[in-house]
Amino acid sequence: MRIWAVDFLKKQGYEILRTNFRCRLGEIDIIAKDGMTIVFVEVKTRRSLKFGMPSESVNFKKQLYIKRVAEYFITYHLSQDKYLYRFDVVEIFIDGQNNVSKINLIKDAF
CATH code for the domain defined by 2-106: 3.40.1350.10
pLDDT higher than threshold 90 for residue 81? no
pLDDT at site 74:
94
- Per-residue pLDDT, averaged over 96-103, amounts to 90
In this predicted structure, what is the pLDDT of residue 1? 65
Mean pLDDT value across residues 22-42: 97
Q: Is the pLDDT of residue 20 over 70?
A: yes
Is pLDDT at 80 greater than 90 in this prediction? Answer: no
- Long-range CB contacts (< 8 A, 24+ apart) of 80-88? 83/36, 83/37, 83/38, 84/36, 84/37, 84/38, 85/37, 85/38, 85/39, 85/40, 86/34, 86/37, 86/38, 86/39, 86/40, 87/39, 87/40, 87/41, 87/42, 87/63, 88/39, 88/40, 88/41, 88/42
Summarize the confidence of residues 65-75 as an average pLDDT.
Answer: 96
